[in-house]
Each structure stands twice: as structure tokens, then as C-alpha cells.
Structure 1
Amino acid sequence: MSDKIYFKSDSRFNFKKHMLNVATRVHHRIAPGHAEKTATKLLLTPVRAKPKHAAPADLIEGSISSKEGLLKTYRVGNGPVWVLTHGWSGSANQFFPLMQHIAAQGYTALAFDHPAHGNSEGEVGHLPGFVSGLEAVLDSLDETQGVIAHSMGCAAAIECQHPKLSNKPLLLIAPVLDYVSNLFGSIERSGYSMRLFRSVVSKVENEYNYPMASVDPFEKLKNRTAHCIIVHDQHDKFAQFTVSKQAATQMCRVKLIETQGLGHGRILQSQQAKDAFDALIS
């Protein structure tokens, strides 16, 4: 259900949203503990999407341990490793076509399901959990060539401070560079009680020692020294194209490839995404 909240941008007045706001505020006032448990289940539980792509014939499945539980991994190809990290309510399966292209260029494509996503363990998902999952994958590798990320996975890749990502190139597909404002804006537009949501966020902040005020993918991208290519559709409904364009305008190491008609998800299978990878390795 959470994807219907995060991936809905209609800001017009809606009676159902109004009633949701009233109900969640009252719930939080009279039974705060129960309201927070309910909100956590609703807002931090991603949809485990059904696979859309057939597994490559040479796909090797595995798993690694993490603080969030066992994470399912998927490996194709031989050679230097590129790590692929998906977005909210996504899975590694979305990358299978792109992974085959990466393998054909002489590299290993290593994707994984984030905690509470795909076939990985875990009950709830959030940015600190995404970063923790990516760190666990990087810990399992001797070296990595770079990261390919989609949507919220882009924010996690930029936020990640793992030394194996230092000065490594990034391919960001439909990135959410304004992560905090995007997140809180989505919840506010849904009608859900913002006070209740902030209470849920506060618990995650305390558990992971990861204050939301420190999250700023846009500014942190400015400080990266390696090259970055962004592939973004002009009419993406879930991640603002204008923010990606601003990044490419202000940051000399960031290049933007614009698409039309591919939206937020289909862009992963686009020729532009493959071309962007080829440009990064050339």
C-alpha cells in the first residue's frame, strides 16, 4: 500500500485525504503507541513487486548477511564489478536487461534486493536501511568499479560513505536528488498526519543514528570527484527532472541524458541507460 502514498502526486483537495488526515491525527492523539506501529507498517512497508523480467541464463543467485537480515544477490558476467541498487518498492529484477548489457561489455553486474524488498529479508524499508544494505554488499566485495542506481537507490548511493565508493563513477537513473522534500511532500499530499509521520521518522533516526537533517543527496553529489551520468525522463511523475537538470547545470562532473515518454520505471530498460553505461566505461 505504501507505493500508493509515495507515488501519488495529486495535490488537489480530496475528501478521502481530508478524512485520512483527521483520522490519523485523532488516532495519534488518543493512542500514540498503536498509531505509530500502524503508521510504521503502512508507511515503511514497501510492495514486493512481482518479477517482470526473465532471469538471464547465466544468472548466479546468492545471499549475504547484513544488519537487516539476509539480502538476496544476483550476479551476471565476469570482470570488474558494477553494483546496481534499486528504488522503493523495486527489486533487482528490474535491472536484468541492463545487467546483460553490462556483462556483454566485459564486466560483472551485481544487483541485490534491498531489505524488505524482492526476496530479501526484512519487514520495513527506509533510507538508512538502504544505505546499510548497500554497505553490506560493498563489504562483500574486494573492489567495485562503480554504482548504477535507480530512484531512491540513487539517494542511498550518494549518501553511502563506504570507502569502496570513494571516487567511483555513478550512473543515476531517475534519481530522487531532493529526497527529503520529496518524501515529506508525498506524505503531506497523501493527507496522512505529518506529526505522526515525523514521530515514525524520529524512531528510525534514533535507531540508526541517522538524522534526516543530514540527508542531502543534491549537495553531496556536488562534493563527489568522480564522473556521474544522470538518465532522466522529462515527464517523470515521481522524481523531479528539473532537479536533475539543475545538478547537471551546476556540477561540472555531472552529465544529463534526457528522455521522453519513458517515465520512472521503463527508463531502466532504455537504450539511453545502456548508452550512459558505455559512456562511463569509455
Structure 2
Amino acid sequence: MSSKIYFRQGKGFDLRRGMINLTTRLHHTIAPGHARKVAKNLLLTPDRSKRLIEEPAGLVRRQIETSEGKIMTYQLGQGPTWILGHGWSGSSSQFFSLMEHIAAAGYTALAFDNPAHGESEGRYGHLPGFVKAFDSVLDQQASIAGVIAHSMGGAMVLESRHALLEGKPVLLVAPVLNYTENLVSTVRRSGYSMKLFDEVVGEIAETYQYALDSIDPLERLKARLGSAVIVHDKADRFASFAHSKQAEQYDHVKLLATEGLGHGRILNSDPLRQAFDSLAS
């Protein structure tokens, strides 16, 4: 979903809700085809990061072909491979600092830009496409040591059924474990026409054979084999810390709670590097 809605905060947001609801419902009534096209652009178009982050020395870029188009990958280091997956409106560059740490520890760090993100192809982004791209990256690996994922990337990893993930450790950073609930409630709070939302989601579900109500990252985490560590800030405004706290009750899940790091700064934090060290060892 577009960051215009997903990350919208403040009092002005509530004041516009009624107008948004009225105009989107009226648009859908008068010109349903055009309304669906506009809704698709708004709900499925992420913000491509334009931040210039210095690349680590020795970083290797490589495009791979997938069913979701050409996906850009970034590799650093040598040794067993850790795959890194970003979230909505993110990119692999968010991981560069962590990738240097992983490489220095004797591993290969392999990140990739999801469809419609970073330097990968694609106009629209959504979780089924994320999972498809992730599985395509895994298909090209003989084996992996583990996976690290941020935000919506956590849902992507937990929803994947790829054989290489079986029993492998997972490091989840500010994961959206209540993905479906979070998505639906956020759109509803925005005032956007839920009928239009349902039609856009229904089209994706039909194309990918992937119903929205079948997505349940928290339940997938509960059922998976292999250890998992969650690093999550208590005051995260975009991903529910409460659901990470709930996951802590599972025997194979450890939660490292942080303070003052939010949803993004946590990616360049010492607690995250320490969590990787403990999980990798």
C-alpha cells in the first residue's frame, strides 16, 4: 500500500477521512473501471527510496530473472549465505551497514530489492509478489545459513514455503506479524473505499491464488521449525510490538526489545548486530 496512506500520521489525517471516503465511493459509482485503476496505483505503488547511501567496498550487484521481472541483488563477503529482505517502500541499501557486519563475521550477505522497489523492475508491489521474488532468490542458492527480514519482509519470509528455509534461523526486525489485520485496519482508518480496496486485493488474490485472509505471519512463526530472534522497538509506530511480544511465548522465539530506535533506525543499531551474532553462533 502506498506510503501516502500507510505512513500517514497526525490530526489532519482524521479530518480528511470523511472526504476521502465520499470521493472514492462516488468515483467508484460513476467510473468503476477508472476508479479501480486509480486505486491500484495508490494502494500498490511504493515509494522508491532516493536516499544515497555509500555502498560497501566489494559489493557485487547482479540482476536475476524472476516471474516478477528483473530483480537486483547485492552480495558482500564470503562463506555461508544469509539472505536479507526489506519491507514496504524500503530497499537493500538499508542493510548495507549490517551486510558489512555479516561479511566481517565470515559470511556472505545477500540482499535483494523487491518488485517495484529499489533497482528492481515492477510497477506494483504486494506481499504475494514479495514471496515470489524471495523464492526466486532462494531458487538460485545451493544452501543458506539463515534469513534476516525487516517489517513487511518478515511477513514475506514467514509466508514462504521454500524448502531451503526448513529449520533455518530467522532474524526478524520490526516484523508486521499481524499483516492482514494491519493492512485492512489502516485502509479503513484512512477513509478509503473498502469496496475498491476489496476489488484490488481480489484481483491480486485471483492472479496469484493467494487469498488475503490466508495470510497469517504470526501463526506461521508459531508453526515453523528453527530458532527465531525478533528485534523490535517498544515504541514502533508502524509495526505492532505487542504481536512480537505475543510471539515471545513460543519456545523457539526470542524477543530483544529496544527503546528509542523506532521502525527504521533499528536497522543500523548495535542491538541488531548483537542479535545476529548470537543467532549465527
* 2:232 alignment partner, SS class: strand
Question: Residue 268 of structure 2 aligns with which residue?
Answer: 269
Q: Per-residue deviation at 1:9?
A: 5.1
Matches for 1:1-282 after TM superposition, within 5 Å: 2-8=2-8, 14-248=14-248, 250-282=249-281
Asked if 1 retains the 8 angstrom alpha-carbon contact of 2:48 and 2:89, the reply is: yes
CA contact 1:9–1:186 (8 Å) conserved in 2? no
| SS of the residue 1:14 aligns to | helix
Q: How many residue pairs were aligned?
A: 281
TM, length-normalised to structure 1: 0.97
Deviation at 1:51, TM superposition (A): 3.1
The answer as to whether partners of 1:9 and 1:189 remain within 8 angstroms in 2 is no
Deviation at 1:10, TM superposition (A): 5.3
For 1:110, the aligned partner's letter is L
The alpha carbon displacement at 1:8 in A equals: 2.8
Letter in 2 for 1:22: L
Q: Is the Cα–Cα contact under 8 Å of residues 89 and 117 in structure 2 kept in the other structure?
A: yes
Does structure 2 retain, via aligned residues, the 8 Å contact 1:232–1:241? Answer: yes
Question: Which ranges in structure 2 are unaligned for 5 or more consecutive residues?
Answer: none
Gaps of 5+ in 1: none
Task: Give deviations 1:152-187, integer Å, cap 9, x for gaps.
Answer: 000000000000111111000000000000011111
Once the two structures are TM-superposed, the CA of residue 146 in structure 1 deviates from its matched residue by 1.0
**RMSD over equivalenced CA pairs, Å:** 1.3
Contact kept? 1:48, 1:90, Cα under 8 Å = yes
Q: Per-residue displacement from partner, 1:178-236 (whole Å, max 9, x unpaired)?
A: 00000111111111111110110000000000011210000010011100000000000
Identical-residue share of aligned pairs (%): 55
Q: Cα distance 1:4–1:207, how it changes in 2: closer, same or farther (>3 A)?
A: same
Write the distance in 2 (CA, Å) between the matches of 1:174 and 1:233: 7
2:14, 2:190 within 8 Å by CA — same for their partners in 1?
A: no
CA distance in 1 between counterparts of 2:56 and 2:269 reads: 17
The answer to whether the 8 Å contact 1:159/1:215 transfers is: yes
